[in-house]
Structure 1
Amino acid sequence: MMEIHSKNGLVFMVQVDHLTGECVGQAIDHLYGAGAANVQVVSAITKKNRPSYMFFIDCCPASGDAVEAAIASELTSGGWHRISTEHRYQYNDKLKRPVELQYQGESLSLTVEGKRFESGSLRPEHDSVMAMRAAVYEKWGRSVAYDAAYHIAFSVLRDEENSVYQI
């Protein structure tokens, strides 16, 4: 049976209706720099029917004050919610598997990285999928859709042996 693990966390909830898209993007970078583990931004409508964003910012308690300072300075919000949480998660194993991609008789050897969770589910790492796409484009000038590269990476992690795929 899978074991669920816990650790203390913080979630900030901030409604912002006065920033442009460029400012929102810069604020997200600043929040990560202050120690946010995740920043989720959702489009919303205020009670006065104004377009706005809802920020959900997840961090460890040790980063709480720095993240809060970034909320005040970058989101220029007059108020927000700071919610103590219990972060629930499952352990995972980091995986690395070789893959050979072939196109028009040429080969490209790469390593796919991902995670296998206690539940048995698999997930390729985003950076690994992006690296595969970039390597294919660099070698053959051929674009590979993210979804296609993701499915190759997933298959490589699932099969647990050297894999060869045609591009």
Structure 2
Amino acid sequence: MYFLEVETIDNNNHNNHSISYKELLSKINHIEEIELQKKNSIFGKELIKDIFNISRKVFKRIALSEAKIHGKSLEDVNFHEVGAADAVADIFGSVFGFCKLGFNNKKEKVIGLPIAVGGGGSVKSVHGMIPVPAPVTLEIISERNISSFGGPVNTEIATPTGVALYAELCDEFMDFQPFVKVDKIAYGAGKKDFDFPNVLRIIRAKSNIKSQDIDVIETNVDHLSGESIGYLFDKLMKEGARDVLVIPVIMKKNRPGNIIKVISRKEDTDRLVSIIFKETGTLGIRVSQNFHRGIANREFISLDINIEGEIESIKFKIGYIDGEIISSRPEYEDIRKIAIKRNIPLNEVLNLANFEINQYISNLR
């Protein structure tokens, strides 16, 4: 068990005065060198570098936001509240606990949910009275694209230090808890007393469902021919779209039209948006970012199937969740080629393929 609690007992102490970002980094680097030379560092030899590297990133995240708000360079930023001894201890203590729990291990994925920022009124700072949430807090939330909401109390409950830690320690952010099996739950209580539990909850969980970050691209068109839409469909798929949907709709002035909806990997979004603009001439495209889709584990197998006395090879895609088979489908192109080659109905080949894959799966059980 490790406990770290720091409280400023002398507000006039010189350790509480402002410090430049550059000077703070120099002191942190010096302390790191000292800890690396110790035989029994409190941080643990194997964690020292991770703890100091992550802590430096937290301070840099705050400094960049301060620099943007005050119109200064990074070198000219001075920390006031963040430079105080208790704030420095908050960051190093939190990162120490994070690493001690093994969350710095890349095998662990840390997901953050929306932040309650409090709100209403103002809070006293070295710059005078500032609104809640503080400008630096909002800047960090915005830069990391973290969802947040006001309340549930009329006071500050998300500080720049806390939000910077949250932004740095989380791998990604979601609006809702993902599909997981809960393993362990832990709570940490704050000092302020409210009408509700003032706690941070950490849930350690497992998920057997892979997830993928995707963007959804949409545009409405009512001027394209069926041939043009078909051409666009094929081009988008060839250029990396994960899926393309064409949805018939009634648009303004009762005109028939279509919604072109594209599922895209984040790295392909800009290219696919450009293709839609050029091919359709549309004046507006909607892009909804950071959607998460669950992906079942899958494997491909080939089975040799006797069709009218001759052996044909058909590829099947098998899907798994928690080790259980949830789907098994023959590849359409294989079915189509055999139907054309043998001059027999597509459904007949499909029925033979489904019979063989069901037999194969039954033998596995």
Give 1:64 shift: 0.7
- Which stretch of structure 1 is more off in the superposition, 50-59 or 115-124? 115-124
The yes-or-no answer on 1:79 pairing with 2:281 is no
Aligned partner letter, 1:96: S
Equivalent of 1:108, from 295, 310, 318? 310
RMSD of aligned residue pairs (Cα, Å): 1.9
Q: Which residue of 2 aligns with 1:25?
A: 230
Secondary structure at the aligned position of 2:281 is classed as coil
Secondary structure at the aligned position of 1:160 is classed as helix
Q: Which residue of 2 aligns with 1:124?
A: 330
Q: Which residue of 1 aligns with 2:243?
A: 38
Segments of 4+ moved more than 6 angstroms = none
User: With CA pairs under 8 Å and 6+ residues apart, which has the higher RCO, 1 or 2?
Assistant: 1
Equivalent of 2:256, from 29, 32, 51? 51
The yes-or-no answer on 1:135 pairing with 2:335 is no
Q: Which residue of 2 aligns with 1:140?
A: none
The yes-or-no answer on 1:5 pairing with 2:205 is no
Question: Which structure shows the higher helix fraction?
Answer: 2
Equivalent of 1:95, from 301, 315, 319? 301
Distance 2:218 2:350 in 1: 32
Distance 2:218 2:348 in 1: 35
Q: Indicate if the aligned counterparts of 1:30 and 1:74 stay in contact, CA closer than 8 A.
A: no
Distance 1:31 1:69 in 2: 11
Give 1:21 shift: 0.8
Runs of 5+ consecutive residues of structure 1 not aligned to the other structure:
138-142, 162-167
Aligned partner letter, 2:313: T
Structure 1 130/58 Cα, relative in aligned 2: closer, same or farther at 3 Å?
same
Give 1:32 shift: 2.1
Distance 1:79 1:45 in 2: 18
Give 1:156 shift: 1.5
Distance 2:260 2:348 in 1: 31
The yes-or-no answer on 1:160 pairing with 2:360 is yes
Count of aligned pairs: 151
Runs of 5+ consecutive residues of structure 2 not aligned to the other structure:
1-180, 182-206
Distance 2:297 2:221 in 1: 34
Q: Indicate if the aligned counterparts of 1:35 and 1:66 stay in contact, CA closer than 8 A.
A: no
Secondary structure at the aligned position of 2:214 is classed as strand
Secondary structure at the aligned position of 1:118 is classed as strand
Q: Indicate if the aligned counterparts of 1:39 and 1:55 stay in contact, CA closer than 8 A.
A: yes
Distance 2:295 2:219 in 1: 24
Distance 1:9 1:114 in 2: 26
Q: Indicate if the aligned counterparts of 1:11 and 1:56 stay in contact, CA closer than 8 A.
A: yes
Q: Which has the larger radius of gyration?
A: 2
Aligned partner letter, 1:61: K
Distance 1:125 1:134 in 2: 15
Question: Which structure shows the higher strand fraction?
Answer: 1
Q: Indicate if the aligned counterparts of 1:101 and 1:108 stay in contact, CA closer than 8 A.
A: yes
